[in-house]
Structure 1
Amino acid sequence: MAIGVPETDVFAAADAVLARGERPTVERVRQELGRGSPARVGGLLDQWWMRLTERLNGETRLPALPSEVSQAFVAIWQQATHLAQGAAEQALAEQRQVLAAEREQLAALEDQARQDAAQYRQLAAEAMAGRQAAETRLADLELLLAQRMAQIEDLRQQREELVRERGEAQLHAQGLQQQVQDLALKLEQDRVDHATYVRGVEERAYREIDRAREESKSRAVQLKAASRQLDDLQRRLEALHNGLSEAQQQAAAQQARADTLAQQLLQRPAGAGVKPKMRKRITSASKRSS
């Protein structure tokens, strides 16, 4: 509702309420006006009641009338004025009670407003702190965003480099693929040539194997003949070995007899028929045998 409604509007509204036969109160006047604060309307309504008393006391301004009529009219006017003053005073007392109640309500509203203002100030301080924290967070996020944008730019450059390298790799792969195809053709030709060579080698090997088999058969016959000759030689060698053993045994027996005889001869006296030269030979022969 608007504040600062003109007093003339309040007075006119109070007159309109009184003309309807109702007692002018703050709420009725405000309803009549459709605006105005209770404090503003209440203060102006007090002035309206005081001016109403002055207006009711305006019988001195009446025109000249016959004395009987004038006295009767004055008596009626005074009675009406007395009744109006009583009604006005009663209404004023009620209005004052309403104003006191409204003032108490207004004081309660002001106290609640002060509490709300303190709460709002606290909320504002918290909001300010939150705003500062949000600004700090925003600065951090902007810094992080700048870093992320730099990373994205770096990744974009890396991607372009990878795309370029991929194109080069594809070209290189195509070249390698062509080389592989050429190498496969060459390998296939080499395989065919190798198979032809292997078949030729196999054929020559088969011929060599057949010739080797023939030679092996001939060699086997020769080997059998040589084996028989070797067996004959082995038997002759064994016979010679046996004869040598017998000859060695006989020689040993003869040597033993010779040694015995030499000892017997040496044990004889010098003049017993053994010459010095013979003795010397026997001694030498005995030493050689030993």
Structure 2
Amino acid sequence: MARAGVTYHDIAKAAEAIKTHGQEPTVDRVREHLGTGSKSTIAPLLKRWRSDNGEAADVSGLPNDLVEMVMSLHERVQQMADHRIEQARQEFDTLNEELRKELTHANNTIAQLTSRQQDLDDQIARITEEKSLQDKSLEGARVSLAKAEFQRDDALTRANDLKESVSELKQENRDIRDHFEHYQQRTAEDRQQEREQFRSVNQGLKDQIQDLQHRLTHAESRASELFDANVQLQRHADELKQANAALNSDLKGKIEDIQNLKHELEEIVTRCREYQHRNDQLAENMAVLTTQKADVDKQVAVLSQTLETTKTELKTTQDKAALLTDENKVILQEKAVIQGQFKQLQGSL
């Protein structure tokens, strides 16, 4: 399809300008002079210009077979070269556009993968930081648990000691009662004195027993609280272990995702290199086609030069034929004169 602005008038002006500079107007020279237009559009317009300017009369003296063969060869070679170049250019443009789209898609994919990798790195850093904090918290919980277990053991030991003290006090109380019954048969004064003394001692023992019972109750309550705290700490430690295991599993999954993304990135880079290699091969093929076209143009130029030489030889031959024709006419005239003279001579005889 012709580009806008390329008309027969433009082709005619360009051909006349090229001819003014002493060169033969060709499709390439006209296209180079105009700087626009396709060869499929310029070729028929240039042929029309040649027909309008009567360039076909220059070869009217040549054999039609030679002229038609040369023109057919030139047109066929030109059309084949134009077709191959246009086809190669279209294939190159199509493949180049596809490669450009795929390269753009690959760049977008690389950007997305890079962004995802950055997000995964940030998530890994955040998870690592959270894991570190949870490890510290777990370590603190373990220390607190160890302290609580130590306090629980100490409270249990103290509770056992208090129980033993209460047992001893009860045993002493029983011993005292036994002694009290044994000495009850003493004299009234000793009994009264012992009774008062017993009351005083018994009251002190009761106070001690009540105090020990109160301390035992407090120790048992404290031991229960420590046991509950130990259970909670153990539960919290189990939760932290489960969270740590989940974080480790999530971290492994993220690392596998990063490895997969890196593998995809390597495949995309490999495909880009393959496309670049194909693009280079197409460029080389384009260069080869251009070289072949140049060779064809050289062959056409040689044929054109041969055609010009043939024209010159034909012109020379035509000139010689005309000269021989003139000489033949002169000889015929002389022959007619001689025959007339011969007839006159015969008549005189």
Query: What's the TM-score, normalizing by structure 2?
Result: 0.28
Higher relative contact order structure (alpha carbons within 8 Å, sequence separation ≥ 6): 2
Query: What's the TM-score, normalizing by structure 1?
Result: 0.32
